[in-house]
Amino acid sequence: MKILYLNGPYKKLPYSRPSRSPAVTKSGTIYYPIWLAYAAGLAQHQTDYQINLIDAVARKWDLPELLNHLRNHPADLVFCDSSTPSIDQDLATASAIKQNLPQTKIVMVGTHATATAKLLLQTNPHIDAVAQGEYDRTAIELAQALDNNQNWQNVTGITFRQNHQIIQTPPRDLIDNLDDFPFISKVYRDFLDPQDYFFSAAQFPMVMIITSRGCPHRCGWCLYPQVMHRGKYRLRSAQNVAAEFEFIAREMPQIREVGIEDDLFTGNKKRLREICQLLIRQNNKLNFWCDTRVDLDYQTMALMKQAGCRLLIAGFESADQEILNNINKGTDPQSAFHFVADARRAGLLVHGCFVLGNPGETHQSMRRTLDFAKKLNPDTAQFFPMIVYPGTAMYQWAQQNQYLKTEDYRQWLTEDGLHNSIVDLPNLPSHEVLRFCDLARREFYLRKGYIFKKLTQSLTNFHEAKRNVKAFSRFAKYLVRAS
C-alpha cells in the first residue's frame, strides 16, 4: 500500500495552505505543510505502508509536473490538502490525478474540505472522500480499510461517496496524548528541504513545529481552533517538546530557528516555564519564536529569552476596545503597551499583527489602529484585511448579515495570490479596507525612525542583518505600489 500526503501546486507561487490566513504573502513567507507532515509521520510510525509526502508548492511544480511524477510513482491513496482561497485549484489537482490514475483513491483534507465536505462530494465526482478535522488516525484507518477491502462506513470522521450516496460517519474523537506523534522535524528531514521554506521574521533556515492543538480562547475568526481542533486545547508534555529541540540540533544542524506555530504557545504558563527550564538545562542553542497574547508577564518573557526565544508574535488586532470585544479577543489596547515594553526589557523582538475591517470598523478606527501600531513600534508588523472562512463564527456572521460581497472563493485572493478583502461593512466597502492596509504598511515601514532602527539592528547583529536583507528584498516592491 502506497500512501501520498500531497500539498498540491498553486500557480507555481509560494502559497501557504497551513497558514491561519492562506495566501501568497508580500514578505515571501512559505509554510511547511505542517498538518500533512504530522499525519504522514504518524502513518510512517504506526504502519508498514510506503509513505510519501510531496510539497509541490515548495518544489515549484505545476500540475503537469506533478502528474508526470505520479505516473512514474503512483499511489494507492492520496490525501490532498485544501484551503478556502485555493479550493478550485485543489479540486482541479484532485480531479486530474483521478483522471490520470483512476485506481487511485482521492481523499480531501484540510480546513476548507472539513467545513464543506458534503458540498465538495456533491459537486466533484472525482473525490472519493473527505477526512474531516484532525485526520491523522483517520488516514491510517482509511488505508487499512482499503487494504483489507473493508467498508469505509466503519471509519469515523469522514464523509464519502458510496453507490452514488453521500455518507457521513460520526465525528472522530480527538487525540488527547500529543506525545504519541513522532517529531514533525523527523518528517521534514526525511521528505523535505528546509532551504525551501521561509518566514520573514525568522532567522534562516528554520523549521515549524506544533506543541499544542486548539486554543483556550474563542476569537471569532480564528480558523484552526474552530474548524480543525473543535475548540479543544491539548498539549504536548514539556519533556517531549524539549526532546524535539535536541533532535533538531543533532539531526538538522543547519537549522537556526524553530517556529512554534501553535495558535497559542503560552496558554499554559506552568508548562511554558517547564519547557524553558528544560531547554536551559540542556544548553539549547536554537532560537525560537512563538505566538502569544498581550497578557504574557515579564518574568516569563525573561525565562523564555534565556531558553532561546528570540521573537514573540502577538495579535494586537485593533486600537478600538469595542472592536476587540466584537471579535471576542479578550484583550485591551493598554495591555499592548505594557507587553511591548516588557518584551523589549527582556530582549525579545515583537512581530505585531493588526487586522482591519473587523465588525464595527470605520475609517476613523482604522486610522487609530495605524497610529496605535506606530506607537507600539514592534520590530515588524502586518496589516491584513479581516478575512472570513467557512466553518468559523465570523463567516457565519458575515453571511447572515449579507456582508460577503462574493462567495466565489477565488476572490479571497488577488490575481497574484495576495490577500483580498471580501467583506463589505456598512459605510466601509472592502476595497477601501484593502487600500488602507497598503497605506498602513507604507506608513509603518517607511518612517525615518523605523528605517534607522533597522539599520542599527543590522549593523550590530550579523544574523538579524541577513534576515532583514532577505525579507526586505522580497517585501520592498509592495511598499511602493498598491496590491
For residue range 217-251, list pLDDT tens digits in order: 888 888 999 999 998 999 999 999 999 999 999 99
Does a structural domain hold residue 58?
Answer: yes
Instruction: Render 412-436 in DSSP notation, one character per residue.
Output: GB-TTS-B---B-BTTB-HHHHHHH
Q: Does residue 372 lie in a domain region?
A: yes
Q: Map grid coordinates 540542556 to a residue.
A: 282
Closest C-alpha among 480, 481, 478 to residue 26:
478
Contact 227, 114 (CB under 8 A): yes
The domain that holds 36 is classified in CATH as 3.40.50.2300
Residue 94 included in any domain:
yes
Residue 455's pLDDT is: 80
Residue 224 CA to residue 363 CA, distance in Å, equals 29
User: Does some domain include residue 343?
Assistant: yes
CA distances from 130 to 137, 473, 478 (A): 14, 40, 37
Pair (156, 189) in one structural domain: no
Residue 481 pLDDT? 56
Domain count, the chain: 2
Positive or negative CA dihedral for 115, 117, 122, 127?
A: positive
Rg (CA), the chain: 22
pLDDT at 462: 64
Q: 309 with 375, same domain?
A: yes
**Does 141 share its domain with 96?**
yes
How far, in Å, CA of 324 to CA of 320, rounded? 6
- Which parts of the chain register pLDDT below 50? 482-483
Q: Are 123 and 237 members of one domain? A: no
pLDDT of residue 482: 46
Amino acid code (one letter) for 348: L
Looking at the structure, tell me whether residues 194 and 330 fall in a common domain: yes
Range of the domain at 205: 178-479
Claim to verify: residue 361 and residue 267 sit in the same structural domain: yes
Angle separating helix axes 462-475 and 448-460, nearest 10 degrees: 140
Residue 173 domain-assigned? Answer: no
pLDDT of 476 reads 60
Task: Clarify whether residues 151 and 236 are in a common domain.
Answer: no
pTM of the entire predicted model: 0.94
pLDDT for position 467: 62
Query: What does the alpha-carbon distance between residue 181 and residue 42 come to, in Å, rounded to a whole number?
Result: 6
3-state secondary structure of 213: strand
Q: Are residues 78 and 152 in the same domain?
A: yes
Query: Left if phi > 0, otherwise alpha if psi is -120 to 50, otherwise beta: which for 402?
Result: left
Select from 149, 168, 187 the last residue of a domain: 168
CATH of the domain at 307: 3.20.20.70
Q: Is 311 in contact with 289 (CB distance < 8 Å)?
A: yes
pLDDT at 375: 97
pLDDT at 483: 42
Length of the chain: 483
183, 159: one domain = no
| Alpha-carbon distances, residue 240 vs 186, 212, 300 (angstroms) | 14, 11, 20
Domain presence at residue 386: yes
Q: Are residues 216 and 84 in the same domain?
A: no
Say whether both 12 and 80 belong to one domain: yes
Give yes or no: residues 187 and 265 share one domain: yes
Q: Does residue 82 contact residue 111 with C-beta atoms inside 8 Å?
A: yes
Whether residue 64 lies inside any domain: the answer is yes
Residue 324 forms part of a structural domain: yes
